[in-house]
Amino acid sequence: MTKLAANLTMLFSELPFLDRFEAAARAGFTGVEFLFPYAYEPAALRERLERYRLQLVLHNLPAGDWDAGERGIACHPDRVHEFRAGVDDAIRYATALGVKQVNCLAGIRPPTVAPAEAREALVANLRHAADKLGRHGIRLLVEPINTFDIPGFFLSGTQQALDILRDTGSDNVYLQYDIYHMQRMEGELAATIRRHIDRIAHVQLADNPGRHEPGTGEINYRFLFGLLDDIGYDGWIGCEYKPRDGTAAGLGWRAAHGLR
């Protein structure tokens, strides 16, 4: 059965962040996700989750200076110490908030770093993170992202990500499959999801073009929701889209696709 989580970074963005939990619950969501928790004390976030009976299903590892345009540092060979300190921060928040999986953004490859060197750094960092997170019962996820929205992002394809996961040698690193990003990069959504469902631990959605809610673009979400049910996917689907005409006005897509 499809379980939808509201991405609070993108949904209800007209509200102060801590007010978005109540809005998500009132809209019928039982799960939430967001990019980063680190600007808030764990107790403040935990209080909102408990008050509104929400499960936090995912957040990211620290990803460098986001406001300055950084989108992850895992492929940066000169920032290994910073990355590993971020893993410790993520564990502190995840354990306090009951989060069982965190996502790693590989980052934009620095122009002075060769692709092979960036890949080596990424594999080593993922190996370290997967091992440390695993000791706390937390899964590590890795997400390919399209290079139209984030030019130069190092990890941009499903098979590329799976090859890197294999090379970590870890059984605690999985794929975060974002339907929107992979539609832009490679298509073949249904075949790819079916083929690699055993490695997919989390799914995110948005339609294309525009990255708006399902039903506004070219992706056949009714078919994909049925496929995920048919092949036994029992994880969450994160609603990481930009509401076209406001969050509340756009939530009718759920009923239109046979979802609560």
DSSP state of 108: B
Alpha-carbon torsion, ordered 46, 62, 74, 240, to 10 deg: 70
Q: Is 240 a catalytic residue?
A: yes
3-state class of 246 per DSSP? coil
DSSP state of 154: S
Tokens representing 178?
Answer: 């974002």
Residues near 120 by beta carbon (within 8 Å), at least 6 away in sequence: 77
Residue 209, preceding peptide bond in cis (omega within 30° of 0):
yes
Phi, psi of 99 (to 5 degrees): -85, 130
Task: Name the catalytic one among 70, 120, 143, 218.
Answer: 143
> What is the bridge-based pairing of β-strands 173-178 and 55-60?
unpaired
Task: Name the catalytic one among 41, 70, 188, 240.
Answer: 240
In the chain, where do the E strands start and end? Answer: 3-7, 31-33, 55-60, 101-104, 139-142, 173-178, 200-205, 236-239
Catalytic residues: 143, 240
